[in-house]
Amino acid sequence: MFESLFDIDEGASQAELRAVVERCERLKSAAAAAQARATALWAAKRAAAEEAAGVPVRRRGKGLASEVALARRDAPVKGGQHLGFAKALVHEMPHTWAALECGALSEWRATLIVRESACLSVEDRRRLDEELCADVSTLEGWGNKRVEAEAKKIAARLDVAAVVERADKAAAQARVSCRPAPNGMVYFTVLLPLAQGIGMYAALKHHADTTFDGRSRGQVMTDTAFERITGRSAGTAVPVALNLVMADTTLAGDDDCPGWLDGYGPVPAGFCRALTGDAVADKGARATLRRLYRHPRSGQLVAMESRARIFPKGLATLIDRRDQTCRTPYCDAPIRHHDHATPDRAGGKTSAENGLGECAACNYAKEAPGWQVSAGTQDGSHTARWVTPTGAVHYSIAPTLPGPPVRRRISDTEGRLSIDLITFDKPDAA
């Protein structure tokens, strides 16, 4: 059946191919509606089962969001959003759900409507749902911004106090984030109140408007932001602590294998050498080396030279370098907790083999009833296994360290491949 749905006729006309694209788009929307309905029903059955089992109210539903995310092969942090979206859509917004099911709305546009109505009471949310989506023909031709704007407009009319209260609460969610961008760049994002954000942008823009030195406006604005935040010129080596993992052969220029920059990901060999060279040449920065050892066949981290006197600190650093990000499948969040796969209370050892680097949310989620997590090493590969309360099994294998491809046959003297961890610290940070 599925084969016939998605078979593409190579001899089809352009009009027929356009019809296939339209049909697939409707199928995606219908699938999202069915997925939401199944998720909401799953949540209801879990709640009923936990109530019957006498689970305390405050513990009911814990871990379900992570299960939903794993089932969708998505990051666990998205699980709560998927779960909340499904419950609101199915139980409180039947017209929006119907518009999604028939293809009048995409999943993202339905998400925008649910999000903008989140601050309303159930009664007002249902009014918004009916007013906006009861007649699906009115949605024809609307883009994402139009859908979002119309939902906001109705929400503000129904309960202006709730909208204002949500805006006030949003200030407490101010944060700074950093994520990779193409070509050795990063997106550095600051989420802050409207007036402050506009003020910062206006100040940077004014400085760019009055600077004429051959740099583009964007370069002037970003350089100025860096200088005002760090207090250093944008042209000097970075003095704050960085963790850059690269092969010693890459550092010496014998190969061009990418390195790994903590919090960013793979970086080109030339960038690694330039960054380390700039730090060594700058008297205001200090470069230190720590040797890491990778397994000759799997390429994963197996040992690390450490000067730390307290073993748990050195072990935590080894886990950070080995796992790089949260080890829960599909989660890319930074490591915040160093956890026992097999809990200490169940006899789990405090060791690299039983240790996992996890974000806080994933660590707490697996403590819910029914979760089973184990870890082990075979032939140098560190593998963790998750079993959810519904019996789904997921695996996570630690990434390999940067460096040349590992060899299948090597001598005993070549069994330990030296990897250099280069950290840049302020001079007084020793």
* pLDDT 10s digits, 138-178: 999 999 999 999 999 999 999 988 888 887 788 788 889 88
Residue type, 19: A
| Least confident segment among 226-235, 322-331, 371-380 | 226-235
Residue type, 3: E
For the segment 101-123, the average pLDDT, to the nearest whole number, is: 95
DSSP 31-83: HHHHHHHHHHHHHHHHHHHHHHTT--GGGTTTTHHHHHHHHTT--HHHHHHHH
For 171-175, the CB contacts below 8 A with 24+ separation are none
- Give 62-83 pLDDT, tens digit per residue: 999 999 999 999 998 899 999 9
- Per-residue pLDDT for 371 more than 50? yes
Who has greater pLDDT, 312 or 11? 11
Cβ 272 vs Cβ 251: under 8 Å: yes
* Burial (Cβ within 10 Å: 0-12, 13-18, ≥19) of residue 87: middle
The rounded Cα 202 to chain-centroid distance in angstroms is 30
Average pLDDT of the residues in 44-63? 92
Mean pLDDT of the chain: 83
Q: Is the pLDDT of residue 323 over 60?
A: yes
Residue 219, exposed/middle/buried by CB under 10 A (0-12, 13-18, 19+)?
middle
More confident residue, 86 or 284: 86
Longest dimension (CA), the chain: 75
Strand partners, 291: 420
Indicate whether 27 pLDDT > 60: yes
Nearest residue to 132 (alpha-carbon basis) of 81, 98, 168, 179: 98
What are the residues whose beta carbons fall under 8 Å from the beta carbon of 333, sequence distance 6 or more? 75, 76, 77, 325, 326, 359, 361, 362
- pLDDT for 19 equals 92
Which of 418 and 301 is assigned the larger pLDDT? 301
Tracing tokens 């959003």 back to the chain, one arrives at: 81
- The pLDDT confidence band at residue 302, using thresholds 50, 70 and 90, is low
Tell which residue, 153, 179, 322, has the closest CA to residue 243: 322
Q: What's the DSSP call for residue 370?
A: T
- pTM attached to this predicted model: 0.71
Instruction: Give the long-range contacts of residues 391-400, CB within 8 A, separation 24 or more.
Output: 392/67, 392/70, 392/71, 394/70, 394/329, 395/329, 396/327, 396/328, 396/329, 398/300, 398/301, 398/322, 398/323, 398/327, 399/300, 399/323, 399/324, 400/294, 400/298, 400/299, 400/300
CB atoms < 10 A from the CB of 86, how many? 24
Other Cβ atoms closer than 10 A to 402: 24
Average pLDDT (260-275) is: 75
pLDDT at residue 249 in the model: 76
Q: Please, which pLDDT band fits residue 30 given cuts at 50, 70 and 90?
A: very high
pLDDT of residue 286: 58
Closest CA to 342 of 353, 331, 328, 334: 353
Instruction: Report residue 241's pLDDT band, with 50, 70 and 90 as the boundaries.
Output: low
User: What is the torsion angle, in degrees rounded to the nearest 10, for the CA atoms of residue 211, residue 213, residue 217 and residue 218?
Assistant: -120
Query: CB–CB of 157/131 below 8 Å?
Result: no
The strand order across the sheet containing 417-425 reads 265-267, 259-261, 242-247, 417-425, 286-294, 301-304
Assess whether pLDDT exceeds 50 at residue 35.
yes
Considering only CA atoms, which of 48, 162, 39 is closest in space to residue 107? 39
The closest of 413, 423, 409, 401 to 293, measured between CA atoms, is: 401
pLDDT of residue 77: 85
Burial of 282 (0-12, 13-18, 19+ CB in 10 A): middle
Give 289's pLDDT tier (boundaries 50, 70, 90): low
Structure token digits, residue 41? 């029903």
Q: Which of 140, 145, 113, 111 is nearest to 126 (CA)?
A: 113
In this prediction, residue 326 carries a pLDDT of 93
Predicted pLDDT at 101: 97
pLDDT in tens, 174-231: 889 888 887 778 889 999 888 888 899 999 999 999 998 889 999 999 999 998 988 8
The secondary structure of the chain in percent helix, strand, coil, rounded to multiples of 5, reads 50, 15, 35
360 has pLDDT over 80: yes
Query: 346 vs 341, 343, 366, 373, CA distance in Å?
Result: 10, 5, 15, 12
d(CA 229, CA 116): 34
pLDDT at position 423 is 45
